[in-house]
Homo-oligomer: A and B are copies of this chain.
C-alpha cells in the first residue's frame, strides 16, 4: 500500500525535527565543515551532476519547455563552480546563531539576554532552478535549520542529486543528513502536504513566479515568507538632478528587467516634468525601453504609449516602464501605497526634507534615496546569499539571508530570585 502524501510528509518532518535539534546545537565550525564538505562534493561529482541535469534537459526539451526555462534549468561547469563558491561565501558569514541581540538587568537583579536561535524546520518550494537547492540548503545549514526542499518537477534529477550531496556534506561533518531532505516524488499532492504541515514545518519560503507564490500564500496553513511581486517605484521629485535621474532610471529599469528589484513605474513631479522628463525619457528610449505614460506625460514625450489603469499595478519584468506625473510627494506616496507591492521604492532629489519624508512615510521593505532600486539584493546589502526578498511585515522583511532565518529566545540568569 502506498503511503499518502500526508504520511510521507509526516515521516520526513519528524526525521527533520530530530536532526534539526542536533544541528542547532552543533558548533559554528561543525556547520561550516558540512558546508565545506558539500562544496567539495559538488566539485567532485561534477560529472554526475551534469549527467543528472542532462536527463532533466532532455525531458524538458521533449516537453517543449521555453528557451528561458531551459536556460534556468541548465547546469554547466561554471554554474556548478558558482554553487560551490556560493557555499564558501556562506561559510565566511558570521555565525547567525547565539548572537546576543540585547542584554539588560532588571530591578529584581535578573540578567536578561535576547539570543539568536534557529527557526526550526523550513520548507522551501521553488521552480526548476537547481541552484536554489544548494543556496537554500546552504543557508539553512548555516543557520541551524532543517530544510525540506521541493523543487520544480522539471529539475527533478538535478535537484535530487544536489540535495543528496548537501546531505552527504552534513554526514561528512558528523551531522545527521536528515537536516536536508528533498521531496523525491514529483506528485503535486506532496506540495499540498507541505503547505498543510502546520506544527511540523515552521515556515515555508516559496521562491519562484507569481503563480507559485500565489498558490503557496493561498493554501498554506504554515507561515510563509514570500513576496508576490516587485512593483518598484522611482520617484523623481523637485530638486532632482536630471542627469543623475536619467542614469538611475535607466539602471533601475534596464540593468536586468526580469528581477524583482527592477523599477516598473516612474513618478515625476509636475513642477519639473516639462524640464526633465523629455531628457530622462530620451535615455530610456535609447536604452530600448518602452514607455507608457499618463496623459500629461504623453504630452511631454510624444513617443510614449498611453498607460491604462492596469499599467500602474503591472510587474512587467520586461523593458517597459509606466510614467506618471504627480502633484508632489503626497500624491507620489499615495500612488505607491495604492499600487505598490511593498518591495522597493526610491526617491531621487537633493531636497533633504523630501528625502526624510519619503524614507519615513513610505512603508515598503526597502526605501531608498538617490540609488537604483536594483540594489534590492541581499548580496548588495552585505548580507551574503539570500533565499528571496520578503514583502510581508512579519519576522523577515527585505532580503532573507542566514540571519533572517533565525528566531531568538530570552536567557535569564538569576541568583535565587523568587517573584514577590
Residues of A within 8 A of B (CB): 21, 24-25, 98, 104, 106-108, 110, 112, 117-120, 198, 202-203, 217, 223, 241, 244, 247-248, 250-252, 255, 337, 346, 355, 359-361, 363-372, 374-375, 377, 380-382, 393-395, 397-398, 407-419
In the assembled complex, the CB of A93 is this many whole angstroms from the nearest CB of chain B, namely: 14
Copies of this chain present: 2
**Interface contacts beyond A251-B419, A372-B417: sample of 17 additional A-B pairs, CB < 8 Å, sorted by A:** A108-B375, A119-B393, A198-B217, A202-B393, A202-B394, A223-B223, A251-B418, A346-B412, A355-B413, A359-B411, A366-B410, A367-B412, A368-B411, A372-B418, A381-B410, A397-B407, A397-B410
Once the chains are docked, how many angstroms separate the CA of A377 from the CA of B419?
10
A368/B416 in contact, CB under 8 A: no
For A21, A250, A382, A393, which residue has the most chain B Cβ atoms within 10 angstroms? A393
In the assembled complex, the CB of A81 is this many whole angstroms from the nearest CB of chain B, namely: 21
Tell which of B367, B395, B410 touches A409, judged by Cβ atoms closer than 8 Å: B367
B108/A412 in contact, CB under 8 A: no
Tell which of B24, B112, B361, B363 touches A363, judged by Cβ atoms closer than 8 Å: B24
Given A337-B21, A412-B369, decide whether A394 and B247 contact each other with a Cβ distance below 8 A. Answer: no
Once the chains are docked, how many angstroms separate the CA of A104 from the CA of B382?
9
In the assembled complex, the CB of A360 is this many whole angstroms from the nearest CB of chain B, namely: 7
Which residues of chain B have C-beta atoms less than 8 A from A409's C-beta? 363-367, 397-398
B412/A371 in contact, CB under 8 A: yes
Which residues of chain B have C-beta atoms less than 8 A from A21's C-beta? 337, 363
Which residues of chain B have C-beta atoms less than 8 A from A381's C-beta? 106, 112, 410
In the assembled complex, the CB of A340 is this many whole angstroms from the nearest CB of chain B, namely: 13
Which residues of chain B have C-beta atoms less than 8 A from A241's C-beta? 416
